[in-house]
Structure 1
Amino acid sequence: MAASTLVDCTAFAVGCLLTVAGGVSVLSGRAPSWPRHVERTRLFGVWALCLGLFCVTQPPALRDEVTGLGAAAVDGRVALLLVSAAALLLGVRKPRGQ
């Protein structure tokens, strides 16, 4: 039980961190210094924001709340992952020479 709670708290904390970093990147056009592979900072922001919101709703209590909102909310969580993946792929720095 304690390991599950630790995972849930970690997912929530990482989600909050990514949500804030993503929101700042989308609004300001600046990425934090740690992601060196980023070419387009706003796409990094979309990736972080979507993944962060997904992680925030990952703990069982919040996931049950989302499920209770209906099928559109559950589909919205899946859409967050898809948009996150697309933004990550589009925002990654291309290798030199290509």
Structure 2
Amino acid sequence: MNSLVDYTAFAMGCILALAGLISVLFGWAPSWLRHVDRPRLFGVWALCIGLFCITQLPALRNGVVRLGSVAVDARVTLLLVSAAALLVGLRRPRGQ
């Protein structure tokens, strides 16, 4: 069961990283995301979350841990950057 979760997180990470890369390069966001005001920031969010999910695969996660504390801190930084990009990129209600 645990390997199913790991591979599902890896697959979702690949999809998010690809969507994020397309959004960053072309400034495009899916049409169903009406709340996204800045597509490139959506891309940064998706790319960071995707890379974080990709490194959840046990072989990659163990490799990151072997690289040391800088690599582990870089994974946490990905989460912080993605949260900031998501908050900055959301559409604000007008008139407030």
**Aligned position for 1:19:** 17
Q: CA RMSD in A?
A: 1.0
The TM-score normalised by the length of structure 1 is 0.92
Deviates more, 1:19-28 or 1:59-68: 59-68
The TM-score normalised by the length of structure 2 is 0.94
1:10 to 5, 8, 11: 8
Q: Distance in 1 between matches of 2:72 and 2:46?
A: 19
Deviates more, 1:60-69 or 1:20-29: 60-69
**Aligned position for 2:87:** 89
Percent same amino acid among aligned pairs?
70
Q: Secondary structure at the match of 2:70?
A: helix
Q: Distance in 1 between matches of 2:93 and 2:13?
A: 29
Shift of 1:38: 0.5
